[in-house]
């Protein structure tokens, strides 16, 4: 659950759409873990993709 909150907090701070690699680099988490959390956030409809492979918080 800690990873979930770290990724969500990163998206709240992000000023532009980002990919999983950027999130992993910024949070210090493993990219696979970030991808799992992002999948959960997508299912919860908290993040959306404005362009392929880039994500941002749903407005």
- Tell me, rounded to whole angstroms, the distance of Cα 55 from its chain centroid: 7
Distance CA 44, CA 58 (A): 10
Query: What is the predicted pLDDT for the residue at 59?
Result: 85
All structural domains of the chain = 2-57 (1.10.10.10)
pLDDT 10s digits, 18-57? 999 999 999 999 999 999 999 999 999 999 999 999 999 9
Query: What is the predicted pLDDT for the residue at 32?
Result: 97
Q: Which residues contact 39 (CB under 8 A, 6 or more apart)?
A: none
pTM value surpassing 0.85: yes
DSSP assignment of the chain: -HHHHHHHHHHHH-SS-B-HHHHHHHHT--HHHHHHHHHHHHHTT-EEEEETTEEEE--
């Amino acid at each position: 659950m800690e990873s979930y909150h770290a990724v969500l907090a990163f998206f709240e701070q992000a000023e532009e759409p980002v990919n999983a690699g950027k999130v992993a680099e910024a949070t210090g988490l493993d990219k696979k873990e970030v991808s799992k959390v992002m999948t959960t956030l997508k299912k919860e409809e908290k993040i959306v993709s404005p362009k392929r492979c880039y994500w941002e918080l749903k407005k």
